[in-house]
A and B are shown apart, each in its own frame.
Chain A
Amino acid sequence: SQQGEEDPQALSIQEGENATMNCSYKTSINNLQWYRQNSGRGLVHLILIRSNEREKHSGRLRVTLDTSKKSSSLLITASRAADTASYFCATRKDSNYQLIWGAGTKLIIKP
């Protein structure tokens, strides 16, 4: 079963606005990762946050992690048309190398 659940399932915003997506998970984790998938393509790794970290930045991306609530958020600032894609969170547990995936958030940036 899916560990991660993204919220919302779909998000449509104007170019230049900020986009926030959330991910909830069920069990303890070693790290949480966010990936982007453009239509018809494979997934691309965006950012990883470890369980002992609370916030991480990479360019226009900001990720937060709240292990007490078992949730994470991905913020994309100053969105661009090229950010239109589906975004997935994935969690990794301590004991194995499997990634557990959420169903994704479909983000549409309107020009």
Chain B
Amino acid sequence: DAGITQSPRHKVTETGTPVTLRCHQTENHRYMYWYRQDPGHGLRLIHYSYGVKDTDKGEVSDGYSVSRSKTEDFLLTLESATSSQTSVYFCAISEGQQAFFGQGTRLTVV
């Protein structure tokens, strides 16, 4: 596996609480992505980053924010978690054409 670490791997949280997921890479890749994966939807892009402090929204960005203060770290924050945000979250990195994925974070909002 490429040097991508997601933390935590599993989390259960209550509705209305803020949650932060972390993606850490050791590959020095420029591009980093957060996706969510839900049955029947494949991967949907939440936010992505094309450099330190440079981020942009994906197709399902409502309710999520991101930050990238260092090349190696990309944080995804659910500002006030809702049950619809129960999902598996994947971080990915790329420098060229292909993407490398982390192992995923299973988030359950109760």
Residues of A that sit less than 8 Å from B by CB:
1-2, 4, 31, 33, 35, 40-45, 48, 88, 90, 92, 97-99, 101-104
Contact of A98 among B48, B98, B101, B104 (CB under 8 A): B48
Closest to B1 in A: A42
Residues of B that sit less than 8 Å from A by CB:
1, 4, 31, 33, 35, 40-45, 48, 50, 58-59, 90, 92, 94, 97-104
A111 CB to nearest B CB, Å: 26
Given contacts A42-B92, A99-B99, 15 further A-B contacts (CB under 8 A): A1-B59, A2-B41, A2-B44, A31-B97, A42-B101, A42-B103, A42-B104, A43-B99, A44-B101, A45-B98, A88-B42, A98-B45, A98-B48, A101-B35, A103-B40
B42 engages A102 (CB within 8 Å): yes
B97 engages A42 (CB within 8 Å): no
Known: A1-B59, A48-B97. A41 touches B40 (CB 8 A): no
B58 engages A98 (CB within 8 Å): yes
Query: In terms of DSSP, what is the predominant structure of the interface of chain B?
Result: strand
Q: How far is the CA of A40 from the CA of B90 in the complex (A)?
A: 11
B98 engages A48 (CB within 8 Å): yes
A33 engages B43 (CB within 8 Å): no
Known: A31-B97, A45-B99. A97 touches B41 (CB 8 A): no
Looking at B41, B99, B102, B104, the one whose CB has the most chain A CB atoms below 10 A away is B99
Contact of B100 among A31, A45, A90, A101 (CB under 8 A): A45
Known: A2-B42, A97-B31, A103-B40. A41 touches B94 (CB 8 A): no
Closest to A45 in B: B98
A54 CB to nearest B CB, Å: 18
A97 engages B94 (CB within 8 Å): yes
B86 CB to nearest A CB, Å: 16
